[in-house]
């Protein structure tokens, strides 16, 4: 009489399901890490862009103030030196 072994296919199926589940969890963790890294790099890039844009705006405002003071004082050289005194 031959024994029927029904548990072997079940064990193989269960092992395959566990391996699949573990692989899916590893992939999920990798995706979460990639998402967080992209969020952080996005914030760094946006902050750098705002800092650079703000610096350029301040530079042009300084030039504009210098030329305005030059018109008021009658000399752009005098206004530039006054601006240097104010900024130091």
| Per-residue pLDDT at 60 | 93
CA end-to-end span of the chain, whole Å? 102
Q: Give the confidence band of 87 by pLDDT, cuts at 50, 70, 90.
A: low
User: The pTM is what?
Assistant: 0.58
Token duo for residue 37: 């890294």
CB distance 82 to 65 below 8 Å: no
In this structure, what token pair is assigned to residue 81?
Answer: 């030196």
**How many Å apart are CA 49 and CA 21, to the nearest integer?**
42
pLDDT averaged over every residue in the chain: 82
């Amino acid at each position: 009489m031959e024994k029927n072994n029904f548990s072997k296919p079940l064990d193989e199926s269960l092992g395959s399901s566990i391996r699949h589940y573990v692989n899916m969890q590893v992939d999920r963790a990798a995706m979460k890490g990639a998402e967080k890294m992209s969020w952080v790099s996005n914030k760094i890039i946006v902050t750098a862009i705002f800092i650079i844009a703000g610096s350029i705006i301040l530079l042009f405002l300084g030039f504009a103030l210098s030329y305005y003071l030059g018109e008021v004082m009658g000399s752009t050289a005098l206004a530039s030196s006054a601006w240097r005194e104010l900024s130091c």
